[in-house]
Amino acid sequence: MKVLVIGLGGVTNGGKTTLAEKLKKMLPNCDIISQDDFFKPESEVETDERGFKLYDVLDALYMDEMVKSIRNWIKSPASSGVVTEELQNTCDNLKNTDDVYILIVEGFLLYNYEPLNELWNRRYFLTLPYEECKRRRSTRVYQPADTPGYFDGHVWPMYLKYKNELEENAINVVYLDGTKSQEELLPCVYSDIIQELKKLGE
């Protein structure tokens, strides 16, 4: 049995969840774990002096639980309830995909937490320019809702901080342009993952 763990990280509203869902339909024995499922309840998230809830930091998440979930999946992917669906794009060029399991982990803060970094086979990072990110963010409804100034005061600065950390630590990441359509991004990422699967099979 072979396991491939793929990180799909990057900017808020960059298209991570949509891309993950589309890839899941195209890849054999594929499952998704979403970082959003590991947020602490609002009462446990710190508030800064401006009254902003600090959601865009590692401390707002149960990261240990997330690592545990991923490790449990790696140990026993077949028992995680992965549905072996009829694939939209059958991987004709892949032999014996029955014993290959793929986990896509999607989230905004995947590569800045050391215990996660030893688990990835491949890392992707979606980027957006400031204006486009702010525009998309303004169309989304969050619980709790974004307060006035929250994007500029917390969300965007934290994105830049963690992205700079990645670059400083020279972590091997494939950057994806989030302004491109899913139709453009999907084939690139899909073919890249297929190459990884072929390497596993060699």
pTM of the model: 0.89
Tokens of 9: 């990280």
Check residue 143 and give its pLDDT. 77
* Sequence-separated (6 or more) residues with CB below 8 Å from residue 52: 147, 149, 150, 153, 154
Grade residue 82 by pLDDT with cuts at 50, 70 and 90.
low
Given the residues 36, 37, 48, 59, select the one marked as catalytic: 36
Q: Is the pLDDT assigned to residue 161 strictly greater than 60?
A: yes
Section 23-40 average pLDDT: 94
Return the number of other C-beta atoms located less than 10 Å from residue 102's C-beta. Answer: 25
Grade residue 142 by pLDDT with cuts at 50, 70 and 90.
confident
Q: Which domains does the chain have, with CATH numbers?
A: 37-77+97-201 (3.40.50.300)
Residue whose C-alpha is closest to residue 56's, from 64, 44, 45: 45
Can you say whether residue 11 is alpha, beta or left, with left for phi > 0 and alpha for psi between -120 and 50 degrees?
beta
Ordered DSSP codes for 122-179: EEEEEE--HHHHHHHHHTS--SSPPPTTHIIIIIHHHHHHHHHHHHHTT---EEEETT
Lowest mean pLDDT among 16-25, 34-43, 74-83, 96-105: 74-83
* Sequence-separated (6 or more) residues with CB below 8 Å from residue 145: none
d(Cα 15, Cα 115) in Å, to the nearest integer? 25
Helix (H) or strand (E) holding 114: helix 114-117
Check residue 88 and give its pLDDT. 44
Residue whose C-alpha is closest to residue 178's, from 188, 166, 191: 188
d(Cα 111, Cα 108) in Å, to the nearest integer? 9
Helix axes 16-26, 182-201, angle to 10 degrees: 50
Side-chain-side CA neighbours of 155 within 13 Å: the count stands at 20
Q: Is 36 a catalytic residue?
A: yes
